[in-house]
Amino acid sequence: MTELKDIEQELNRFRGRLLAAGAFVLFGFGLLCARLVFLQVYKHDELATRADNNRIAVVPIVPNRGLIVDRNGIVLANNYSAYTLEITPSKAGDLEGTIDALAEVVEIQPRDRKRFKRLMDESKSFESLPIRTKLTDEEVARFTARRFRFPGVEIKARLFRNYPLGEVGSHLIGYIGRINRAEKEALEESEDQANYRGTDYIGKLGVEQSYERELHGTTGFQEVETSAGGRAVREINSNPAIPGNTLVMSIDIRLQAMVEAMFGDRRGALVAMDPRNGEVLAFVSKPTFDPNLFVDGIDVDSWRELNESIDKPLLNRALRGTYPPGSTFKPFMAMAALVTGKRSASQVIFDGGTFQFGNHTFRSHGDGGLGPVDMARSIVKSSNVYYYSLANEMGVDLMHDQLEPFGFGRRTGIDLESEVTGLLPSTAWKRRAYKRPEQQKWYSGETISLGIGQGYNNFTALQLASATSTLVSGGQRFKPRLVREIENVVTRERRRVASDALEPLPLRPAHVELIRRAMYGVTQEGTSTRVFMGAPYRSGGKTGTAQAVGVRQNEKYNAAKLEEHKRDHSLYIAFAPLEEPTIALAVVVENAGFGSDAAAPIARRVFDYLQLGHYPSEEDLALLRQGKAGAPVGTPRVAAEVPLPGATIVLGSPAAPLPGLQGPIASSDPAAGREAPPAPPAPAPEPRPAAALPVDTRGGLAAAGLRSGGTP
């Protein structure tokens, strides 16, 4: 029997299935539409940005670093461009294999590999790092022809810093180096983070470091459309970088180079400044170093030679080297005596050659005494006994309170980083400095040697020069300044960087005149007479000799029996002209003996340069380097005619006349007006900063074992 189907029931069943399928399709389509609406409407901006990011690369444009020029426009630091071969480790795959293959195309030395490894340890894997710098045109061509073989490797054009004068003024100019990890972390936490995108170098020392913000400039950017392979297709938008500003220094680099030449191979420092405004004209630390070695990372051998040298060429002696001032301290002690009323100018003290305190004998220089001496004669003839007794009468704390306002024992505030404070002792200082109670106590016998600039006294050449400037100017005080103007390279406007004027010291004009006249007497009938013989101008000065090591009570100092590094330091402070000083300076020549033998002759030539425009003859220079010079010998040369190797002048840089000169010293370089730096030095790992080196404290910090007496 045939079974009859219920057609209606089947149709209903089919309609139900059809409706369910339709509803499912509609639901799915609704979900798809909702997703499209969500993506196209609500997420449009975000997704469009992502798409643009995949298509557009934002490339930072690193600005040109600003120039550094001296007061006459001579270029001290500039830039040049060169090609570098760089690897992005995250894109290179087999890194060692890539470097080995690259070595077959361009020369890659072991030091390049070591530097690259060190940079990798300090950087992120997606950063582009140089494996070779300063490629030749031939090397660029060879790599370009084989570029397809090296994913993640590319050639970039970069700017390199150049110091045309090499070692001249290296401590004050400083240098730049690659940004290390600590500096990178500091930048990431500062407001300058965006401005340092793409920047690999930063100032490490000198004005390169202290004026980093002015020199760096403003980073620009370039929006570039890229292909799927990462190649640039077209430029969409760009914002040019703004170069760094030009620093115009107060330094006269010719004077600086002359002083460094006079030091020769000897160690020491000289600071010369204008007491009327605090501008520094020369800031010398010897020995020097070539800052070009550090620009792209110094090689291991050169770093070891600099870092391990007994002469410490990386130590900025003018800023961080501390020395006992010796007899150069006496004019300040005399002023303190006048201010406090401890001594009058006419009071006479008998100098018998020794000063007895308890069972200890403090000796003077020479075998005999000077007899009766008043204040002026005590400076002219450099009486130790006069200042032994004065120190005993004043006491350490009164001396500290009177001399600290001159800048002793505190930072001057110069526009360089890492200045040290030096040491002007007091009873409070000793309690802080020592732990054991017996060490914290101040003994009266420790005060005596302070009067002649020995004992715990330790100051920098910068502090001595600044204090001399304050003394001879009648109490005017300024923070010393190395940069006098900052020029905006876009607008060409110059902004004056004025030295901060401090509250002047209330020194009586009669007291200042007495000290000036006494220091003038030093050059006429005192310890520097033979050095300033025949000078057509009048100047004042004070010689000093400071011990580097102590000598026992019953021993006599004999330089010939001591190692060279243990002999006395030679010092001289001076000013000129006598009536209205426009220059004050301090000179220290380490382990060179009497102040009149080594330091004073250098000061004389500085004054001849500034007052007369003279440059020492070759014969005179040879004697100066040997420490055998007195008054100038031979025919002095015209300073403007002595060539300064490598010098160039920036066009439009107005020269600033120096004190005592009729006009600026112009460059005799035939390339004046053109920037044509010499060929760059060979590249080479980043050193630790020179500021991390130990401060030179060869200068008798311990009173126990201090040699009694001192020599002018």
- Banded model confidence at residue 686, pLDDT cuts 50, 70, 90: very low
Taken in order 414, 420, 422, 427, is the CA torsion positive or negative?
A: positive
To which H or E segment does residue 134 belong? strand 129-135
Buried-state track 91-110, b at ≥16 Cβ within 10 A, e below 16: bbeebeebbeebeebbebee
The mean per-residue pLDDT over the stretch 370-382 comes to: 95
Q: Among residues 252, 203, 210, which one has the least CA distance to residue 69?
A: 252
- The Cα 23–Cα 13 span in angstroms is 15
- Banded model confidence at residue 582, pLDDT cuts 50, 70, 90: very high
To which H or E segment does residue 178 belong? strand 176-178
C-alpha distances (whole Å) from 373 to each of 346, 369, 452, 513 are 9, 10, 16, 19
The mean per-residue pLDDT over the stretch 553-571 comes to: 70
Is the pLDDT at 178 greater than 80? The verdict is yes
> Which pLDDT does position 157 carry in this prediction?
81
Beta strands of 307-451 (E only): which ranges? 349-351, 354-357, 360-363, 371-373
- Banded model confidence at residue 42, pLDDT cuts 50, 70, 90: confident
> Which pLDDT does position 711 carry in this prediction?
37
**CA angle (427 as vertex; 421, 431 as ends), nearest 5:** 85
- Banded model confidence at residue 694, pLDDT cuts 50, 70, 90: very low
C-alpha distances (whole Å) from 439 to each of 427, 429, 552, 702 are 11, 12, 20, 11
> Which pLDDT does position 479 carry in this prediction?
96
User: So which residues are the catalytic ones?
Assistant: 327
Is the pLDDT at 688 greater than 80? The verdict is no
Domains of the chain by residue range: 59-248, 253-550+563-638
Class of the 59-248 domain? alpha beta
Across 295-309, 620-634, 659-673, the highest mean pLDDT is recorded for: 620-634
Q: Between 253-263 and 618-626, two packed helices, what is the crossing angle to 10 degrees?
A: 60
Copy the structure tokens of residue 592: 């060179």
The alpha helices in 575-699, defined as continuous H runs, are: 599-612, 618-626
- Banded model confidence at residue 517, pLDDT cuts 50, 70, 90: very high
The mean per-residue pLDDT over the stretch 617-642 comes to: 94
To which H or E segment does residue 221 belong? strand 220-226
Residues of the chain with pLDDT > 70, as a percent, come to: 83
> Which pLDDT does position 50 carry in this prediction?
65
What CATH number matches the domain at 253-550+563-638, 3.40.50.720, 3.40.710.10, 3.30.2320.30, 3.40.190.10? Answer: 3.40.710.10
> Which pLDDT does position 695 carry in this prediction?
36
pTM of this structure: 0.81
Residues of the chain with pLDDT > 90, as a percent, come to: 52
Is the pLDDT at 652 greater than 60? The verdict is no
Is the pLDDT at 620 greater than 70? The verdict is yes
Tell me what the pLDDT averaged over the chain comes to.
Answer: 84
- The Cα 444–Cα 395 span in angstroms is 8
> Which pLDDT does position 544 carry in this prediction?
94
Can you give 592-620 as a three-state secondary structure string? CCCCCCCHHHHHHHHHHHHHHCEECCHHH
- Banded model confidence at residue 28, pLDDT cuts 50, 70, 90: confident
Is the pLDDT at 691 greater than 50? The verdict is no
* Most distant CA pair in the chain, distance: 160
- The Cα 632–Cα 621 span in angstroms is 9
Q: Tell me the pLDDT tens digit for each residue of 490-513.
A: 899 999 987 788 999 999 999 999
Helix (H/G/I), strand (E/B), else coil: 405 = helix
C-alpha distances (whole Å) from 588 to each of 467, 473, 630 are 15, 22, 17
For residues 100 and 111, the answer to whether their CB atoms sit within 8 Å is no
- Banded model confidence at residue 332, pLDDT cuts 50, 70, 90: very high
| Residue type at position 372 | P
To which H or E segment does residue 379 belong? helix 375-380
Across 1-10, 354-363, 385-394, the highest mean pLDDT is recorded for: 385-394
Beta strands of 527-576 (E only): which ranges? 540-546, 569-576
- Banded model confidence at residue 153, pLDDT cuts 50, 70, 90: confident
